[in-house]
Amino acid sequence: MKKFDTHVHSNHSHDGKCAIGELARLASSRGIDGFCVTDHCDFDLEWGECTSAFIWKKLDAPKYYENYLRAKEEVEEVKNGSLTLLFGVEAGFSEKGRAGEKYAELIDKYPFDEVINSTHCVKGREAYFADYFLFKSKQKAYGDYLDAVLMSLDAPYPYDIVAHIGYIMHGAPYRDKALRYEDFPDKFDAILKGIIERGKTLEVNFHHETVPETGALKRYFELGGRAISYGGDSHRGEIGEKFDEFATLAKNIGFEGYNYFVQHKPVFVPFD
Ligand SMILES: [Zn+2]
Ligand SMILES: [Zn+2]
């Protein structure tokens, strides 16, 4: 079975460690057939009236593209088609401000294979940090997050993948951090149906906890959702690390394969 990772960070992300060429070498050594670099673009923090407890480095898009092209050339020389290197971006959604226009401009300017639509900010605050949760019950903090994910489906720019539904869990101070389908069935249904209706792909993300959790994935399948992607979301070169776990989980639910993207067109990879 071909292994494609659609969510990988290089050192063009504030929290990424490896150069794109280095990622290509690591991917090959791990038996990965292809991956898409999807560095962070945080116009939500820059233009979207959102604040963060920590200020992150901005994406240098011209340099990112230049380094991608250089790495791709190297890969083609050395690997002769055995590794596919693709170009993408992870766009942090904001329902306010000028972020939407800025993403539309960026996506128009560069020949991205894939755009990941991610919700990191909720009601104007980056939800990775503890301050987002101050004085909020889990129900309120997670409910508002799911509302923001739902809004992100109508982002005013083209995107392909809806990322990591469950990102909120990482910074949460609650003893039981799990974001379960059964606790928010209406909100989850609206999101999952929204993804299906819009023809988008739901990412299964392995950065921290596996998200969305199995109950939500099962429900997506039950509602008719078939488009999923594997998002390792690696920041230190651990590309495709949990791919086998992904394939087992998805096959057990009934999925027959998964997508990666070339020039925004889904390429379906069947499971063996
Ligand atoms: Zn993210
Ligand atoms: Zn990411």
What rounded mean pLDDT belongs to the chain? 96
Average of per-residue pLDDT across 14-30: 93
Q: So what's the pLDDT on residue 53?
A: 82
Residue 78 has pLDDT above 90, yes or no: no
Q: Helices 185-197 and 138-152: crossing angle, nearest 10°? A: 10
% helix, strand, coil for the chain, step of 5: 40, 20, 40
Helix (H) or strand (E) holding 70: helix 61-79
| CA 190 to ligand 2 center in whole angstroms | 23
Contacts of 56 (CB under 8 A, 6+ apart): 14, 15, 40, 42, 45
Ligand in nearest proximity to the CA of 42: 1
Residue spans per domain, the chain: 4-270
State in words which class domain 4-270 has.
alpha beta
Name the pLDDT band for 192 (thresholds 50, 70, 90): very high
94 three-state secondary structure: coil
Q: So what's the pLDDT on residue 230?
A: 98
| CA 63 to ligand 2 center in whole angstroms | 19
Give the residue among 122, 138, 117 at the shortest CA–CA distance from 7: 117
Prediction pTM value: 0.97
Kindly state the percentage of the chain with pLDDT values over 70: 100
Question: Which residues place a Cβ less than 5 A from the ion ligand 2?
Answer: 90, 233
Ligand in nearest proximity to the CA of 92: 1
Residue 56 has pLDDT above 90, yes or no: no
100-138: pLDDT as tens digits: 999 999 999 999 999 999 999 999 999 999 899 999 999
Ligand in nearest proximity to the CA of 89: 2
Q: Which CA distances in Å does 37 have to 27, 154, 229?
A: 12, 24, 14
Residue 242 has pLDDT above 90, yes or no: yes
Instruction: Answer for the pair 176, 213: CB distance below 8 angstroms, yes or no.
Output: no
Distance CA 214, CA 99 (A): 32
| CA 122 to ligand 2 center in whole angstroms | 17
| CA 141 to ligand 1 center in whole angstroms | 18
